[in-house]
């Protein structure tokens, strides 16, 4: 039955564009949406035949709203509110702080190719932004392999012999062999055209230069040009789809059973350089067009075009939103009926089918885990806990999350423990209680299974935490490392995992990930503390400057390895030199 109070609130809504918020009795926001006509759109939620509507109506006690001047403002406000409040029935798209670029530093005597997140235009050429760090690293690796450009900012005056990259033909070693400058600059120009996606032009140029070198009897040079040409041709053959497109994002949607799959391909330099996968259930997903709205609102940098395989009813609003955000135009187009793009769509379809098979296999394994460990329900959401410390110092706990068999890193948590405490049982009790108490407060769905790194004692500590919170429906186990023995309420004396079964490896995978995450956090705290204490020994550095450097470089190794010009971006030149000299002495 529909809450009569909600019906009265809907009738009071204006017939204007804006954003609406469904709230629980305590004021917690559970769903945020945008509308061209607030009253008309929110009225549709009063239809209880739709599953998602029933879920929202079962929790909602109040409707709040913002009136905006137009749909574009409504879309951007919707995304910012979702990002801030993280409602349980909304799609959550990450809004990365900054996207990475490839830098070709033409200000250097021998231009190098580097990873960067910062743009400084003078005598430098940038390519990107790229959708992920891995896509930048892969592209730099390809350029390094084919064109042998340097990827380090080494001071040439300190180098007497080439490094390993020269030995494996990954660099011309201009630091030791400056006489290769003409050849090196030729390769820089080639790399530039490669990154710009001008492969046809580059291949024709390589053919002409190869023939010219052969005619001049420069057979060694001709052979090198031939090898570069063949390598580029092999690279193109590996690209299943290589289209003459500007910077473009292709968004492919496919529903399957009660789930919604979206595959995003990123074209940069006229080729696919990365992809992202999204899987949503019916409780969060509204429509592929709504996903696209939030996707455009989440972009950090504009794109020239966006391709889809689904119809759009508000194309102009989406294009206007992009223009409002980036002051550049984008063209959004449905390519589902264009023959030229059929190979691209088939590629996306194949990727989603593979993803579906993986999901089904994961679900099958989770069902087997349930039977194997005699759990109350299928463990679709699993938390893993572990403790890490150095003799009672830098004590931390980790809590990782796996959903449908895959890591859900947005739900990873780091928990700092009391210094000087060397009691794993007390630490596990504290970590489990703190994490679950926080989840309950924030309205996050509790896990189906908790996996503790440890033995019987750690298991009892976790049970105590659950009992005090009044939680009865969560299964929990512990895994002792030595024998990989699992303890639980069903296995008081434990059972040794049978690793001939694939799902046994999955159980330890959760444990190992929580162990890795805990150690990583403990090392971070250790490095931060040591870095700060060392920095304060340098004349001219106080708490404020130490904090600034710590924020930028994260660790002891980070600041030790930083080049002088990178340090100068954070502090003034004299101080940067002092820091560099200090750590050089420290190294020796």
Return the DSSP state at 122. T
Residue 92 counted as domain residue: no
Pairing of strands 406-407, 413-416: unpaired
* Range(s) of the domain holding residue 62: 4-85
pLDDT at 122 over 70: no
Are 156 and 136 members of one domain?
yes
Is there a domain that residue 327 lies in? yes
Query: Residue 252: which CATH number?
Result: 3.30.420
Task: Kindly report the pTM of this predicted structure.
Answer: 0.64
Q: What are phi and psi of 287, to 5 degrees?
A: -165, 160
pLDDT over 90 (residue 19): yes
Stronger pLDDT, 134 or 458, i.e. the higher one: 458
Higher per-residue pLDDT: 307 or 230: 307
The mean per-residue pLDDT over the stretch 143-170 comes to: 81
**Token match 């090898």: residue?**
227
Cis-peptide, bond into residue 129, ω within 30° of zero: yes
**Whether residue 330 is found in the same domain as residue 471:** no
Q: How far apart (Å, rounded) are the C-alpha atoms in residues 302 and 317?
A: 15
Provide the terminal-to-terminal Cα distance of the chain, rounded to the nearest Å. Answer: 75
- Report yes or no: 43 and 10 within 8 Å, Cβ to Cβ: yes
Residue 97 CB partners (closer than 8 Å, separation 6+): none
- What is the mean predicted confidence (pLDDT) over 161-187? 84
CA 529 from chain centre, in angstroms, equals 27
Query: Using one digit for the tens of pLDDT, what is the confidence trace for 549-565?
Result: 877 876 656 777 788 88
Q: Which two tokens stand for residue 537?
A: 């020994």
Stretch 527-542: mean pLDDT: 69
- The last residue of one of the domains, among 158, 177, 197, is 197
The predicted pLDDT at position 14 comes to 92
Q: Are 118 and 150 contained in the same domain?
A: yes
Per the DSSP assignment, residues forming a β-bridge with 124 are 105
- Residue 363 is predicted with a pLDDT of 86
Residue 430 has pLDDT above 70, yes or no: yes
- From 130-144, 219-233, 323-337, 525-539, the region with the lowest mean pLDDT: 525-539
Q: Which residue has the higher pLDDT, 393 or 560?
A: 560
Rounded CA separation 348/117 (Å): 29
Confidence of residue 409 (pLDDT cuts 50, 70, 90): confident
Q: What is the pLDDT of residues 80-114, one digit of tens each?
A: 898 888 888 888 776 555 668 888 888 888 888 88
When mean pLDDT is compared across 242-246, 287-291, 321-325, the lowest value belongs to 242-246
Instruction: Flag whether pLDDT at 66 surpasses 70.
Output: yes
**Residues 304, 247: contact at Cβ < 8 Å?**
yes
d(CA 472, CA 217): 83
In a domain, 576, yes or no: yes
pLDDT value of position 475: 93
Q: For 340-356, what is the mean pLDDT?
A: 89
As to burial, measured by CB atoms within 10 angstroms (0-12 exposed, 13-18 middle, 19+ buried), residue 242 is middle
Asked whether the predicted pLDDT for residue 20 surpasses 90, the reply is: yes
Q: What is the pLDDT of residue 292?
A: 94
User: Does a structural domain hold residue 217?
Assistant: no
More confident residue, 134 or 526: 134
CATH number of the CATH domain containing 422: 3.30.420.340
Q: Does 464 lie in the same domain as 398?
A: yes
- The confidence band for 378, taking pLDDT boundaries of 50, 70 and 90, is very high
CATH of the domain at 32: 3.40.1440.10
CA distance 494 to 121: 62
Mean pLDDT along residues 420-430? 80
* Same domain, residue pair 267 and 349: yes
Give which of 269, 263, 274, 265 is closest to 244, Cα–Cα: 269
Quick one: pLDDT band at residue 344, thresholds 50, 70, 90?
Answer: confident
Pick the range with the lowest mean pLDDT from 145-149, 194-198, 322-326.
194-198
pLDDT of residue 240: 45
CB of 100 within 8 A of CB of 116?
yes
Asked if omega into 264 is within 30° of 0 (cis), the reply is no
pLDDT given for residue 420 in this prediction = 47
Q: Are 52 and 304 in contact (CB under 8 A)?
A: no
- Verify that 259 and 139 share a domain, yes or no: no
**pLDDT higher at 577 or 392:** 577
Over residues 251-257, the mean pLDDT reads 93
Give the model's confidence band at 134: pLDDT under 50 very low, under 70 low, under 90 confident, else very high: confident
Residue 15 pLDDT > 90, yes or no? yes
* Maximum mean pLDDT: which of 95-104, 137-146, 238-247, 251-260: 251-260
Task: Give yes or no: residues 545 and 520 share one domain.
Answer: no
Confidence of residue 242 (pLDDT cuts 50, 70, 90): low
Distance CA 309, CA 342 (A): 10
| Half-sphere exposure in the Cβ direction for 471 (13 Å, CA) | 22
Residue given tokens 């008309």 in the structure block: 40
Structure confidence at residue 263 as a pLDDT band (50, 70, 90): very high
- What is the predicted pLDDT for the residue at 563? 81
pLDDT band with cut points at 50, 70 and 90 for residue 18: very high
Beta strands at 495-496 and 485-488: parallel, antiparallel or unpaired: antiparallel
Q: What is the dihedral of CA 507, 508, 512, 518, to 10 degrees?
A: 60
CA distance 172 to 168: 10
Q: Are residues 13 and 60 in the same domain?
A: yes
Order of strands across the sheet that contains 331-334: 271-281, 259-268, 248-256, 305-308, 331-334
Residue 221 lies in a domain: no
Q: Are residues 388 and 519 in the same domain?
A: yes
Same domain, 414 and 472: yes
Residue keyed to tokens 């564009």: 17
Is there a single domain that holds both residue 398 and residue 494?
A: yes
Q: Is residue 111 part of a domain?
A: yes
CATH number of domain containing 580: 1.10.150.20
Is the pLDDT confidence value at 67 over 90? yes
Last residue of a domain, one of 524, 554, 572: 524
What 3-state DSSP class applies to 383? strand
Structural domain tally of the chain? 5
Burial class (CB within 10 angstroms; exposed 0-12, middle 13-18, buried 19+) of 477:
buried
pLDDT of residue 477: 93
- Mean pLDDT, rounded, of the chain: 84
Q: What string of H, E and C letters represents the secondary structure of 549-560?
A: HHHHHCCHHHHH
Look at residue 505 and tell me if it is in a domain: yes
Residue where one domain finishes, among candidates 133, 166, 197: 197
pLDDT value, residue 532: 61
| Residue 529 domain-assigned (yes or no) | no
> Average pLDDT for residues 212-227, to the nearest whole number?
80
Residue 465: per-residue pLDDT:
93
The full 3-state SS of 444-498, as one line of letters, equals: CCCCCEEEEECCHHHHHHHHHHHHHHCCCCCEEEEEECCCCEEEECCCCCCEECC
176 and 315, same domain (yes or no): no
């Amino acid at each position: 039955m529909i809450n009569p109070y909600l019906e009265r609130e809907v009738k009071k809504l204006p017939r204007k564009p804006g954003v609406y918020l469904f709230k629980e009795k305590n004021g917690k926001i559970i769903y945020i949406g945008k509308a061209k006509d607030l009253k008309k759109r929110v009225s549709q939620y009063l239809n209880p035949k739709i599953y998602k509507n029933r879920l929202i109506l079962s929790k909602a006690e109040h409707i709040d709203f913002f009136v905006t001047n137009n749909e574009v403002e409504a879309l951007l406000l919707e995304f910012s509110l979702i990002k801030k409040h993280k409602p349980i029935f909304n799609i959550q798209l990450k809004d990365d702080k900054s996207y990475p670029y490839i830098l070709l530093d033409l200000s250097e005597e021998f231009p190098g190719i580097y990873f960067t997140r910062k743009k400084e235009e003078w005598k430098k050429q940038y390519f990107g932004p790229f959708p992920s760090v891995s896509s930048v690293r892969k592209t730099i690796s390809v350029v390094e392999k084919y064109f042998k450009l340097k990827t380090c900012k080494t001071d040439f005056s300190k180098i007497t012999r080439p490094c390993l990259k020269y030995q494996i033909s990954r660099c011309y070693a201009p630091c030791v062999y400056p006489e290769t400058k003409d050849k090196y600059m030729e390769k820089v120009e080639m790399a530039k055209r490669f990154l710009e996606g001008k492969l046809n032009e580059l291949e024709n140029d390589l053919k002409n230069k190869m023939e010219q070198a052969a005619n001049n009897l420069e057979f060694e040079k001709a052979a090198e040009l031939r090898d570069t040409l063949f390598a580029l041709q092999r690279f193109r053959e590996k690209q299943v789809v290589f289209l003459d497109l500007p910077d473009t994002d292709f968004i492919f949607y496919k529903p399957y059973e009660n789930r919604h799959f979206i595959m995003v391909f990123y074209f940069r330099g006229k080729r696919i350089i990365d992809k992202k996968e999204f899987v949503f259930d019916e409780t969060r997903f509204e429509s592929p067009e709504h996903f696209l709205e939030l996707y455009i609102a989440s972009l950090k940098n504009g794109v020239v075009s966006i391709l889809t395989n689904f119809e759009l009813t508000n194309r102009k609003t989406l294009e206007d939103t992009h223009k409002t955000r980036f002051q550049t135009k984008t063209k959004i187009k449905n390519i589902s009926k264009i023959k030229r793009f059929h190979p691209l769509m088939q590629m996306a379809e194949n990727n989603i089918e593979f993803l579906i098979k993986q999901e089904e296999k994961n679900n099958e394994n989770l069902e087997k885990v349930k039977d194997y460990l005699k759990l109350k329900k299928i463990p679709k959401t699993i938390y893993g806990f572990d403790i890490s410390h150095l003799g009672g110092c830098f004590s931390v706990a980790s809590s990782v999350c796996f959903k449908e068999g895959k890591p859900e890193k947005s739900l990873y948590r780091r928990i700092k423990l009391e210094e000087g405490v060397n009691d794993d049982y007390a630490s596990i009790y504290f970590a489990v209680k703190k994490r679950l108490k926080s989840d309950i407060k924030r309205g996050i769905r509790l896990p189906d299974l908790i996996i503790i790194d440890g033995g019987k004692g750690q298991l009892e500590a976790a049970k105590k935490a659950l009992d005090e919170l009044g939680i009865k429906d969560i299964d929990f186990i512990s895994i002792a490392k030595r024998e990989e023995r699992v303890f639980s309420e069903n296995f008081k004396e434990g059972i040794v995992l049978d690793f001939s079964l694939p799902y046994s490896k999955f159980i330890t995978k959760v444990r190992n990930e929580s162990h890795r995450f805990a150690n990583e956090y403990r090392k971070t705290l250790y490095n931060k503390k040591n870095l700060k204490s060392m920095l304060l020994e340098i004349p001219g550095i106080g708490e404020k400057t130490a904090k600034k450097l710590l924020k930028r470089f994260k660790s002891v190794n980070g600041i030790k390895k930083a080049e002088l010009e990178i340090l100068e971006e954070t502090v003034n030149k004299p101080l940067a030199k002092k820091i560099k000299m200090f750590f050089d002495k420290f190294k020796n």
